[in-house]
């Protein structure tokens, strides 16, 4: 018996059938659909996906015919009786309840959008987006009210996808995010690229602020009140603050949940009750890079979990290896993606044995028309070079590089392996040195001691000499505050101008010339460090604007 | 002393400088440029890259200023005197020769286009493409002669890139290829997708034929004579039959070359002479997937080799791990890529312990507009599931999946690792199950014994019952010759129609429904195999057209 369809539950049901032609399989879902494309909902609101039927992936009829699986939609499981191995099922159409027995129970109830108990939260026009009916209601609201102004509460992945889609519908969009950055899972200097892109497409971003109440004027217009006193008018409000695992049914039955509120399972997706499994957004998963339990409401892991639970139920050896946190989000032509651990996650897990590098390579060779920069941050273990995580933002080729690094992380690759990676190259596809190779080479330089990194966070307080080795005209157009300029081509002749008593931190645009300069200086006995990723990284850390140098 | 610039030589020179500020470094190149983008040349001919200066990556002046490296272009090394550790250098401008001493010599002479000694081969209008002047000459020839018709001899990667670029210039293009397929490194059924794409864009493909002579009419029009007597008119002929390693200088000096004619080196890129290294297109490399020595004239490996040689010369521990054969080629909106071993390569290496599967997943979820199929072939070791190779063709996301599998192969991943890969997913980027996951899942099904594969090559001779489980209307539109049709949804009720004495080979469109059917049949005691990749794979194996079934 499977409670909840969609990704994890439906996958589990179909897999059980493939393994056991004789099993009786019953899927219960309280919603109207057993399997729908929830990741597509923002795009249905945005009219990129035009036909609602495209979102419905498999009907109960298909389950019956193809898999000999019985599906009952609009049926809610309201209680689990573990001793008797039965559940109480309520038919939501008739209200009637009955008992159904199980041998193996799989909980796949998903997660519910968070709807904080703020004043005015139940006013008409304030929506969450989790189901096909939710999306339909938002579409209808926009169409019938001719909604012009939207406020999105929450600047995470779904919030930003919604922002793009509502702009696509012609609306003026404000996003209010509690954190000082959009996309809170990312490190802030990478999220900065997303901020710039959103603002350049007219999205009004309100960061480090939170919504405290909603009101409504006489004409029906909503007002969204922020903590700092600001008010925002809206014809439509979408709450995308996150989701909460639907673990109440399990809790009520005495099934253990973890600290994050998700159902706790073992590597076979089994709960504390050996006859009850759980999969999908309702469970906590072990992030095997950081070793921490997390909520990771993503479709990929949910699918894998469904397969693992099915295998376990059918008596197969199996194991869910945990998650590594690969995710991607796109809006306004930009792709932002990550895999493995962020610096944030490592720091909050108390880990210190890591280094981070930045680079900004073109997605393909510069001499072929249309090259676009990929802003890439790679994190690796200092002691042995193990790749721990990567984040990237750019227009082209971002998911490709993050996927390669995701596969590398899965296989416990080191930065030396990335250096040697043999990837697709033709002028329109990459470079003889792919961005992944560059990341590996730079990190390997650090590992081998050929390049020492200057910590970006100490830039404001360092007593080091800041040396910019770009050409004069580049330096003049904007530079790191306090830096002096000696173009790389003049460096060897001007070594006498540099101090031997003081550390030198070198930068250029992206880090390549600075690396060359650092090698020259190190071999001439200077103490030198590299500001990884150069002026482009500086700009990401200092979005407020870059000072013009007073003296050149 | 480095003989030959471009990828391997220039990289090696720059790396030596980074490791040793005091080394005297001299780069000699017989051509006019020390570093140019040879992979960009077809696109310069095609006017996609418009400005020749874009192809020139680094000038001798930049090498001097930035790296303190002396570069002499138009200087040819004509002899190596290994005992004295000197070379004879000829200044191609003046004809003067002099001796130059070396401590370490790096040979990076590249490879020369093959120009077979056919009748008429030296007629004006017959070109090869390897250098910037070559490309310039072809451009000029097209412009001044208003060339309309081109014959390209050789249907490999460069030949097809040329075909696209000449079509882009408005020319009528014929490609003549000796093999029965284009892109000879690929297995033929994957190359088939390239053939279709080229022909649908008007390229006249002449396969399994070879050029035997060239002639010229009174008006200057060339005629290209093929072995079977056919003649093709042309205003322009481009020879892209392949390249031959420039190993004569090394041979003359008694440096060992391998069976394929390339300079033989060890893992430090050292030749048989401990003071002489060699890198790039002139050397033979070990393919570590097949264990065979190969010529692999690609920029990525050349760059890595340059770095390895530099490290070795500077006394660092280093190792070139060999190549795995990752390559990509694009034309007319299609991308074809491969990594690791092909079935062809494994068979010719005498290896038998492998299986191949086919799949045709969408590059992103089907419900998001614009989904395109990726035609993917995965090869893995039967005994343990080790991933050996992959080939793919499609419009979108091809290089990304091949890169992920390339990284997996490098890390010695198994198909079970691909099954579990956690890759980027959002509707416009992929699927909750990425094409790489699908490949891993299908292969894992084979490894676990859940699905037995029918060998495509035995289709014509098998006594098995061919069972097509698609819907009736799909079957009617075209099917495998001799197949009977039972739609999957009816299979459980119609099991009695199927023979128990005879093996059953199942197919659908791409293999998913056939897999479901095979599971049903296997569990009911039938002997069943799956025709991997279904009717789409059948169509690739049978490009001559698909028979309509006589009886349904």
Q: Among partner residues A20, A421, A429, which is closest to B328 by beta-carbon distance?
A: A429
* Residue A414 C-alpha from the chain's centroid: 23
Query: What Cα–Cα distance (Å) separates residue A475 from each residue in A184, A503, B265, B479?
Result: 33, 21, 45, 67
In chain A, which among 12-51 make CB contacts under 8 A with chain B? 17-22, 37, 39-40, 43, 48-49
Mean pLDDT for the stretch of residues A398-413 = 98
SS3 sequence, A379-423? EEECCCCEEEEEEEEECCCHHHHHHHHHHHHHCCCEHHHHHHCCC
pLDDT digits (tens, 9 = 90+) for A299-332: 999 999 999 999 999 999 999 999 999 999 999 9
Residues B395-453: pLDDT tens digits? 999 999 999 999 999 999 999 999 999 999 999 999 999 999 999 999 999 999 999 99
pLDDT at site A545: 56
Mean pLDDT of the region B332-345: 97
Phi, psi of B232 (to 5 degrees): -125, 130
In this model, does residue A396 exceed pLDDT 80?
A: yes
Nearest to B542 by CA among B183, B209, B182, B196: B196
Residue-level pLDDT at B420: 96
Name the one residue in this structure whose structure tokens are 């072939």. B377
Nearest CA in chain A to B411: A411
Q: Answer for the pair B393, B375: CB distance below 8 angstroms, yes or no.
A: yes
Mutate to test the interface with A, among B367, B390, B401, B448 (most CBs of A within 10 A): B367
Indicate the residue of A39, A413, A422 with minimum beta-carbon distance to B427: A39
Instruction: List pLDDT tens digits, range B356-386.
Output: 999 999 999 999 999 999 999 999 999 999 9
The shortest C-alpha distance from A206 to chain B (Å) reads 25
Candidates B37, B404, B417; nearest CB to A403: B404
Is the CB of residue A302 less than 8 Å away from at least one CB of chain B? Answer: yes
- For the stretch B468-488, pLDDT in tens is 999 999 999 999 999 999 999
pLDDT at residue B36 greater than cutoff 90:
no
Nearest residue of chain A to residue B287 (CA atoms)? A422
Task: Name the residue in chain A with its Cα closest to that of B42.
Answer: A427
Q: Mean per-residue pLDDT for A97-113?
A: 97
Q: What is the mean pLDDT of residues A375-381?
A: 98
Compute the nearest-CA separation of B35 from chain A (Å).
Answer: 13
> Mean pLDDT over all residues of chain A?
95
- Residues of chain B with Cβ-Cβ distance to A20 below 8 Å are 523
Q: What is the pLDDT of residue B348?
A: 92
Return the closest-CA partner of residue B486 out of B498, B499, B503: B498
Contact at CB, A492 and B339, closer than 8 angstroms: no
> What mean pLDDT do residues B504-509 have?
97
Cβ-defined contact of A7 to B432 (cutoff 8 Å)? yes
State percent of chain A over pLDDT 90: 94
Q: How many angstroms separate the CA atoms of A494 and B495, rounded? A: 86
Contacts of B335 in chain A (CB under 8 A): 429
In three-state form (DSSP H/G/I as H, E/B as E, the rest C), the secondary structure along B193-221 is: HHHHHHHHCCCEEECCCCEEEEEECCCCC
Active site residue B39: yes
What's residue A6's pLDDT? 81
Q: Sign (positive/negative) of CA torsion A132, A134, A137, A138?
A: negative
- Taking phi over 0 as left and psi of -120 to 50 as alpha, with beta for the rest, A68 belongs to left
- A232 within 8 A of A223, measured Cβ to Cβ: yes
Q: Which of B18, B412, B488 sits opposite A519 (nearest CB)?
A: B18
- Predicted confidence at residue A548, as pLDDT, reads 43
CA-closest candidate to residue B270, choices B281, B259, B283: B283
DSSP element (H, E) containing B416: helix B415-420
Backbone dihedral angles phi then psi of residue A420, each to the nearest 5 degrees: -95, 0
- Provide the pairing of β-strand A285-286 with B105-107: unpaired
Average pLDDT estimate for B98-121 = 96
Per-residue pLDDT tens for A417-428?
A: 999 999 999 999
Record: contact A367-B40, CB cut-off 8 A? yes
pLDDT at A550 > cutoff 50: no
Q: Can you give the pLDDT at residue B545?
A: 56
What pLDDT does A425 receive? 96
Mean pLDDT of chain B, nearest integer: 95
**In whole angstroms, what is the distance from residue B464 CA to residue A237 CA?**
61
Q: Does A521 touch chain B (CB under 8 A)?
A: no
Q: Which of B40, B65, B299 sits opposite A368 (nearest CB)?
A: B40
What's the pLDDT at A7?
Answer: 83
| pLDDT tens readout for residues B52-75 | 999 988 899 999 999 999 999 999
Q: What residues 97-126 of chain B have any CB closer than 8 A to a CB of chain A?
A: none
- Stretch 419-438 of chain B: residues touching chain A, C-beta under 8 Å: 420-430, 432-434, 436-437
pLDDT tens column, A119-169: 999 999 999 999 999 999 999 999 999 999 999 999 999 999 999 999 999
């Amino acid at each position: 018996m499977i409670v909840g369809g969609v990704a994890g539950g439906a996958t589990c049901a179909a897999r059980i059938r493939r393994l056991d032609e004789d099993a009786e399989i019953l899927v219960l879902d309280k919603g109207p659909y057993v399997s729908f494309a929830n990741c597509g909902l923002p795009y249905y609101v945005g009219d990129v996906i035009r036909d609602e039927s495209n979102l419905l992936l498999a009907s109960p009829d298909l389950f019956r015919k193809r898999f000999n699986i019985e599906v009952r939609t609009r049926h809610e499981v309201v209680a689990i009786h573990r001793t008797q191995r039965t559940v109480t099922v309520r038919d939501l159409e008739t209200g009637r309840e009955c008992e159904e027995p199980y041998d193996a129970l799989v909980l796949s109830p998903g997660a519910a959008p968070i709807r904080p108990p703020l004043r005015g939260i139940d006013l008409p026009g304030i929506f969450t987006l989790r189901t096909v009916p939710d999306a339909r209601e938002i579409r209808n609201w926009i169409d019938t009210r001719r909604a012009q102004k939207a406020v999105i509460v929450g600047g995470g992945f779904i919030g930003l996808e919604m922002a793009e889609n509502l702009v696509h519908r012609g609306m003026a969009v404000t996003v209010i995010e509690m954190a000082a950055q959009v996309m809170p899972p990312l490190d802030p200097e990478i999220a900065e690229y997303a901020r710039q892109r959103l603002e350049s497409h007219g999205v009004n971003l309100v960061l480090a602020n939170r919504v405290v109440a909603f009101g409504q004027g006489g004409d029906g217009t909503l007002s969204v009140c922020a903590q700092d006193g600001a008010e925002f008018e809206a014809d439509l409000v979408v709450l995308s603050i996150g989701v909460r695992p639907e673990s109440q049914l399990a809790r009520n039955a005495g099934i253990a949940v973890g600290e994050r509120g998700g159902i706790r399972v073992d590597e076979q997706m089994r709960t504390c009750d050996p006859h009850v499994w759980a999969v999908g957004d309702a469970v906590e998963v072990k992030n095997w890079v950081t070793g921490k339990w997390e909520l990771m409401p993503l479709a990929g892991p949910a699918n894998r979990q469904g397969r693992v639970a099915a295998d376990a139920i059918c008596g197969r050896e199996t194991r869910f290896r945990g998650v590594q946190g690969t995710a991607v989000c796109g809006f306004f032509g930009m792709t932002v993606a990550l895999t493995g651990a962020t610096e944030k996650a490592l720091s909050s897990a108390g880990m210190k044995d890591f280094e981070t590098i930045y680079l900004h390579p073109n997605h393909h060779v510069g001499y072929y028309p249309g090259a676009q920069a990929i802003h890439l941050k790679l994190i690796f273990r200092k002691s042995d070079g193990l790749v721990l995580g990567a984040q990237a933002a750019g227009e082209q080729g971002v998911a490709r590089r993050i996927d390669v690094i995701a596969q590398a992380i899965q296989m416990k690759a080191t930065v030396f392996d990335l250096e040697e990676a043999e990837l697709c190259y033709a002028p329109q596809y990459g470079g003889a040195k792919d961005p992944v190779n560059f990341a590996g080479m730079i990190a390997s330089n650090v590992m081998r001691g050929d390049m020492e990194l200057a910590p970006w966070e100490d830039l404001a307080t360092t007593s080091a000499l800041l040396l910019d080795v770009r050409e004069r005209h580049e330096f003049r157009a904007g530079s790191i505050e306090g830096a002096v300029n000696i173009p790389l081509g003049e460096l060897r002749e001007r070594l006498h101008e540099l101090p031997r008593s003081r550390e030198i931190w070198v930068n250029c645009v992206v880090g390549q010339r600075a690396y060359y300069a650092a090698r020259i200086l190190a071999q001439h006995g200077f103490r030198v460090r590299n500001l990884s990723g150069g002026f482009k990284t500086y700009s990401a850390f200092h979005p407020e604007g870059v000072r013009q140098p007073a003296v050149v």
